[in-house]
Structure 1
Amino acid sequence: MLEELEVRNLGPIRSAVLMPGKGMTAITGETGAGKSMLLSAIRLISGATANVGRVAAGAGSAWTQGIFDVDENGKAAGLAQDAGVLDADGKGTDPDPDEIGRRELFLSRTVPASGRSRAVLCGHSVPRNVLGNVAAELVTIHGQADQLRLASPARQREFLDMAADDKAERESYRAAWEKFQAVDERLRNLTNQEASARQRADYLRESIEQINKVDPKPGEDEELKEKRSRVENAAEIAQGVNSALSALDASSVDSDSDALGASDAITHAIQALRTIHVGGSFVGVADRLESLNADLSDIIFSLSNEMDADEDAEGLDAINSRIHELDELTRRWGPTLEDVIDWRDKAAFEVEDLDASPEKVEELKTQRRQAFDDALKAAEVLSRKRTFAATVLADTVSKELSALAMAGAGLEIRVVRRKSGPKGKPSAQNSEKQQASATWPLDINGIDDIEFLFTPFPGSPQLPMGKSASGGELSRLMLALELSVAEKRTSGSSDMTFIFDEVDAGVGGKAAVELGKRLAKLSQTSQVIVVTHLAQVASWADTQFVVSKGNSNGAGSKAPIETTVNEVTGDARIHEIARMLSGSESATSLSHAKELLASSKL
């Protein structure tokens, strides 16, 4: 609720502080006194477009601030937290409210005489739309200068849902709708990808066939390149090996050779050392030479095998051809043969998945039909509850309008079910092309189109709300609507402040008393602020403020006329009610005022 509204240099108001009560607050005063400036101030902190012409003459800027007491876990506090002006625990830098679970939000707006306005939320500059979004959860203004809150179909649906108390049905439908959307999206994506999937599968199959035709083995290319190098350098290899063997063991090269090789020389050295029978290190040296000779024998054997290897120079072309085939594979799917083989194995699995896509499409079509049927059933349950609530709400509002001096006025709430048409429902009979372009009768809000039609007087045609009534009639219609859902809106508590302007236009006598009574009734569950010219309405208020204008320096002064805002209580309030009744403060009007105040109790 609005705890305090402070205004500086806005129009004729130089400085004013309004502290409305928890229940109903009436703002009264002579015509032209400046009551509209208070509404302008509230609109400014609600994100309305700033008008520099409203800045008081001679002032550099106008400033207004509203302090709201809100539920710490409510939507308004959540929006403030999302905007980064509150901590995650709901505590900001502002003073903590006394009540547990409550906190204060400060919404302010500065409008310079020239330049851009500045929006501030809890001491932090924010975009104007952020201020407006927070204020939308706190203040609802019903007046001719404001767009009707329920003029849009979306707002009308939200209002009807609140009256229907259908949260469980909406949540059930929303879950079914989201499941249907998810399956439908998967099917559309898969259908759109079928052509590219076929191309991909063809490419993969051709690639796998090419790789399998070559049939590479891991490391085969490196082995072939080494073999090619040996063939190309066979003569050089043979000459080097032959020379080495001749030096190490001449008999392995030429059996008729008497030349002493390295192995023979080491054998003689070992034998010579073994003949020494004197103690010392000779035995150890002989053992080491035997070990060396064993290694030398292995080397000679390996080199002899190299001499025996048949390096076929005529097979060089075949080796080069094979290496070329393997290089082509690594160039396209490498860089190594291991990468090529790994790519082929993965491609085989991908081909299987792509080849299975027609079956997947059919599976998803079946899932979509089932998901649509489930969503449709949930939508029908929600629609039935809305339809019943629409009848009850329309009847209740129409009765309230009659009591508000609008006999013959009425509200009709239409819950129109969308028609699906030939493409509306997925089925086995729909072609693939039809289902891909289908427009479902469902959307995220269900299967219904909601329309509020208002008849302001007998004989008037039914017209959409916002286009069929004067400002006063619209205000009374909104009052009737708010009264009809007051208990369901609040559930015991509410942060919403309702402001009614011109709600008393064209009303008088008993109807005015009924109007005030109903505003007081609404104030039992929500804060209500009403700008009124009628004493019969103001008398029902818990708090009353009088807006008056005068010369700040007294009579005869040439100083500018200024508007003041003062709360009236006790005798002062009786005098104001008397003025509103007869324009004077005679004994009769004062007596009538006392009687009216005494009788204006719920």
Structure 2
Amino acid sequence: MLTALSIRDIVLIDALDLDVPGGLIVLTGETGAGKSIILDALGLALGGRGDAGLVRAGAKQGVATAVFSAPDDEDLLALLAERGFEVAPGEDLILRRIVGADGRGKAFINDQPAGVAAMREIGARLVEVHGQHETVGLLDWKTHRGLLDAYGGLQAQVAAVAAASERLKAAEAHLADLRAQAADAAARSEEMALNLAELDALDPRPDEETELAGERAVLGAAEKALSDLADARTQLGGDKLSQKLAAALRAVEHARQRATQAGADPDHPVIHRLGLAAEAIDRALVEATEAVAAVDAAADAFDFEPGRLDRAEERLFALRAAARKLNTTVEALPDLRVRLREQLRLIEDGADALSAAGRAAAQAAQDYDAVAALLSSGREAAADRLVAAVMDELGPLKLDRARFRVALDPVESGRRGPGGVETARFQIATNAGAPFGPLDSVASGGELARFALAMKAALAGREGQRQPVMIFDEVDQGVGGAVAEAVGRRLERLSRGAQVLVVTHSPQVAARGDAHWKVMKADAEGRTHTTVSALDAPRRQEEIARMLSGAQVTDEARAAARALIESPLP
């Protein structure tokens, strides 16, 4: 909802700040008073064309600011986020446009710099304009299907079709992927079979390159290591060392035995020291034996079978040659072997997989067609009801010769899309025998504005979505009496579910307003100024009386104005 409009130095307006209420707001005033300036300024804030001609003479720049209540429309919030504008929850939406006297301008959305195109796109979500020279909203046929669905209460069917479309899209993508894989595999099957045969013969193992490289390094060092160990055994003396230590041990034992036989005391220091010497030699004998055994064991560890180094090098060279040929690494060869086997299996088993995927896609298409048929039937029924409702509105609006229809045509190329299998376009023929055509190509400005009102009146309360602000600019142009009364009552009904601004010269329309603004033009200090006044009840009645009688307001006109204001809505 539009809550405020601020205008600075736009055409004849110096400064104007308007608080905008809900419901139906009517703007009246003498011809040329400047009512269109209000709409031009609002249009400027919504991204409309801006040029230096809008800037008040003598001013450096003109500024138009429109304030809307915090948006709760998910589509609008998504659009704002997509365009990079941050709007905090509960925060008003402020659109500001500045146009300099040199023609250059700036645009802001909630004080964040904005491009005019983005502002225009967002503004179109906020306000619809229907008038003598411009009508937006209904003229875009891309909106017609959504309006028809909402009118018919087809949200559940639309959701079912969208879900079926997603499932069909996934099934078709899976089928296409399998076909592409099978075609690629078939084209490369001979080469893959040869490569797999080579890998099977080679039988690469995970981490084999690392193991072989380590083994080759050890084997390459084995010869020198064995020489070193032989030298160590020589230095130890081998068996001779053990023999000498054994002989020494026997000699010491003989010496101790002789001393003992000679009657020496067993605790005599000589006997004790001979015992210590025997123990030390015995320990040395044991250690020497273990040292020689350890050296021999180390040498045995290098006792590789003949040709093992050559075989390790040949294996490593074979693995690396295969990796180069297949443009991969040795570490990746085992996984490549598995992938090649799987791809060849796909060729062998591909017919079954493709057949299953084809059946799934066909079933998804049947499921889609079933729910799409239900939606199509619902749209046909809703179209019939909408045509009847709009036709009922046309007669009272002096469009009784016009005919309206909803054209449901197959979508391009028969595509099963998320929105169903048909487009919807609202078409009219304004004269007997004339062909149906798009709204903007067959209706004059006044007819188009009234037709938009008829459409909105028929759709009111049935769209199932938040209504934008609607502006009707002189929708009553060229009509009066009962037709003007019909226009006013439809605008009043429409405003019960939306905010509606209408520029009017008709007292019958003005009498239906919830709020009444009078636009006036006056000369002061050699310049012409346009001002806007919000009328209270007495002044509102006087303004409608003026509209009824002209410059001379009579008591009869005041009574007629009061009767118009007090007449209830049927």
Q: TM-score range by the shorter chain?
A: 0.7 to 0.9
- On the 8 A contact 1:578/1:584 being kept in 2, the answer is no
- 3-state DSSP of counterpart to 1:140: strand
Q: Is the 8 A contact 2:9 2:15 kept in 1?
A: yes
Q: CA deviation at 1:497?
A: 1.6
Alignment of 1:297-312 (within 5 A): 297-299=292-294, 301-302=296-297
Determine the C-alpha separation between the residues in 2 that align with 1:174 and 1:309: 72
Aligned 1:241-260 pairs, distance under 5 A: 246-249=234-237
For 2:37, the equivalent position in structure 1 comes to 37
Asked if 1:488 is matched to 2:462, the reply is: yes
Asked whether 1:511 is paired with 2:511, we answer no
Alignment of 1:393-542 (within 5 A): 393-417=386-410, 439-489=413-463, 494=466, 496-542=468-514
Q: Could you tell me which amino acid in structure 1 is paired with residue 502 of structure 2?
A: V
Q: Which residue of 1 aligns with 2:98?
A: 110
Aligned: 1:265 with 2:244:
yes
1:86, distance to aligned residue in structure 2 (A): 2.1
Residues 339-358 of structure 1 aligned to structure 2 (within 5 Å): 340-341=333-334, 343-345=336-338, 347-353=340-346, 355-358=348-351
User: 2:380 & 2:306 partners in 1: Cα distance?
Assistant: 95
Give 3-state SS (helix, strand or coil) of 2:463's partner. helix
Aligned to 1:293: 288
CA distance in 2, matches of 1:175, 1:472: 42
Q: Which residue of 2 aligns with 1:552?
A: 524
Secondary structure in structure 1 of the residue aligned to 2:272: coil
Q: Deviation at 1:583? A: 1.9
Q: CA deviation at 1:202?
A: 4.1
| TM-score w.r.t. length of structure 1 | 0.81
For residue 74 of structure 1, report the CA deviation from its aligned partner.
5.1
Instruction: Tell whether 2:545 aligns with 1:578.
Output: yes
The C-alpha deviation readout for 1:407-444, integer Å capped at 9, x for no partner, is 2212111223459xxxxxxxxxxxxxxxxxxx544222
Counterpart-to-counterpart distance in 1, 2:22 and 2:304: 108
Q: Within 2, Cα distance between the matches of 1:308 and 1:378?
A: 80
Contact 1:538 1:577 (8 Å CA) reproduced: yes
| Contact 2:242-2:285 at 8 Å conserved across structures | no
SS at match of 1:137: helix
Rate the CA distance shift 1:106–1:274 in 2: closer, same or farther, 3 A: farther
Q: 8 Å contact 1:248–1:300 — kept in the other structure?
A: no
Deviation of the 1:91 alpha carbon: 4.0
CA distance in 1, matches of 2:414, 2:136: 31
Q: CA deviation at 1:541?
A: 1.1
1:85 and 1:121 in contact (8 A); partners too? no
Decide which of 542, 564, 567 is 1:596's aligned counterpart. Answer: 564
SS of 2:47's equivalent?
coil
Q: Is the 8 A contact 2:147 2:463 kept in 1?
A: no
Say what the alpha-carbon RMSD is for the aligned residues.
3.4
C-alpha distance in 1 between matches for 2:122 and 2:288: 97
Which residue of 193, 196, 200 maps to 1:205?
193
User: Structure 1 residues 532, 287: closer, same or farther in 2, change over 3 A?
Assistant: farther
- The answer on 1:367 being equivalent to 2:360 is yes
Q: Which residue of 2 aligns with 1:325?
A: 318
Whichever residue aligns with residue 573 of structure 1, its letter is R
Structure 1: which 5+ residue stretches go unaligned?
Answer: 93-103, 252-260, 420-438, 554-558
After superposition, the C-alpha distances for 1:451-486 in whole angstroms (9 at most, x for unaligned) are 211122334332211111011111111111111121
Structure 2 partner of 1:127:
115
Within 2, Cα distance between the matches of 1:308 and 1:414? 94
**How has the CA–CA distance of structure 1 residues 243 and 115 changed in structure 2, closer, same or farther, with 3 Å as cutoff?**
same
- The equivalent of 1:430 in structure 2 is none
State the partner residue of 2:272: 278
Counterpart secondary structure, 2:62: strand
Give the superposition deviation at 1:123: 2.8
Q: Is the 8 A contact 2:135 2:449 kept in 1?
A: no
The alpha-carbon deviation at position 156 of structure 1 amounts to 1.1
Counterpart of 2:53, as a letter, is G
Distance change (3 Å), C-alpha of 1:341 and 1:375: closer
Distance 2:382 2:302 in 1: 104
C-alpha spacing 1:211/1:505, structure 2 compared with 1 (3 Å): same
CA distance in 1, matches of 2:471, 2:304: 106
Q: Residues 229 and 295 of structure 2 are in contact (CA less than 8 Å); yes or no, is this contact kept in structure 1? A: no
Distance in 2 separating the partners of 1:196 and 1:63: 63
Distance 1:402 1:307 in 2: 111
Could you state the TM-score of these two structures normalised by the residue count of structure 2?
0.85
- 1:483 match: secondary structure: helix
- Indicate the larger mover: 460-469 or 384-393: 460-469
Say if 1:350 and 1:282 are closer, same or farther in 2 by CA, change over 3 A: farther
Q: Answer yes or no: is the 8 Å Cα contact 2:70–2:90 preserved in 1.
A: no
Q: Counterparts of 2:463 and 2:166 in 1: how far apart (Å)?
A: 27
Instruction: Label 1:326 to 1:9 Cα distance change in 2 as closer, same or farther (>3 A).
Output: closer
Matches of 1:325 and 1:194, distance apart in 2: 31
Structure 1 position 163, deviation (Å): 0.7
Name the amino acid aligned to 2:445.
Answer: G
Confirm whether residue 140 of structure 1 aligns to residue 128 of structure 2: yes
Separation in 1, partners of 2:302, 2:397: 121
The alpha carbon displacement at 1:56 in A equals 0.9
Cα displacement (A) at 1:366: 1.1
Distance 2:23 2:172 in 1: 51
1:516-558 CA-to-partner distances (Å, cap 9, x unmatched) read: 11111111111111111111211111211111111134xxxxx
Task: State the one-letter code of the partner of 2:362.
Answer: R
CA deviation after TM superposition for structure 1 residue 387, in Å: 0.5
How far off is 1:64 after superposition? 1.2
For 1:483-514, what per-residue CA distance to the aligned partner results, in whole angstroms no more than 9, with x for missing partners? 112112368xx452211013112211111111
Whether the 8 Å CA contact 2:67–2:94 is kept in 1: the answer is yes
User: Which structure shows the higher helix fraction?
Assistant: 2
3-state DSSP class of the match of 2:470? Answer: strand
Moved more, 185-194 or 269-278: 269-278
Tell me: CA distance 1:192–1:484, structure 2 relative to 1, closer, same or farther (3 Å): same
Q: Which amino acid aligns with 1:86?
A: V
Partner of 2:259: none
* SS of aligned partner of 1:3: strand
| SS at structure 2 position matched to 1:467 | helix
**Residues 575 and 305 of structure 1: CA distance in aligned 2, closer, same or farther (over 3 Å):** closer
Q: Distance in 2 between matches of 1:335 and 1:600?
A: 86
Counterpart of 2:87 in structure 1 is: 86
Q: Distance in 2 between matches of 1:237 and 1:3?
A: 95
2:261 aligns to what? none
Structure 1 position 250, deviation (Å):
6.7
Supply the AA of the counterpart residue of 2:517: F
Question: What is the rounded CA distance, in whole Å, between the counterparts of 1:239 and 1:599 in structure 2?
Answer: 124
Query: Could you tell me which amino acid in structure 2 is paired with residue 10 of structure 1?
Result: I
SS at match of 1:489: coil
Does residue 383 of the first structure (1) align with residue 376 of the second (2)? Answer: yes
Say if 1:274 and 1:282, in contact at 8 Å, map to a contact too: no
Question: How many angstroms apart in 1 are the aligned matches of 2:375 and 2:291?
Answer: 96
1:355 and 1:281 map into 2 onto residues whose CA distance is 85
The question of whether the paired residues in 2 share the 8 Å contact of 1:71 and 1:495 is answered with: no
Q: How many residues end up aligned between the 2 structures?
A: 548
Residues 282/565 of structure 1: CA separation in 2 closer, same or farther (3 Å cut): farther
2:144 maps to 156
Contact 2:68–2:94 (CA<8 Å) still a contact in 1?
Answer: yes
Which digits, 9 at most, give the CA deviation of each residue in 1:270-325, with x for residues without a partner?
A: 5566676516865663454244223233146448869998857xx99878755643
SS at match of 1:585: coil
Distance in 2 (alpha carbons) for counterparts of 1:511 and 1:66:
32
What SS does the aligned partner of 1:466 have? helix
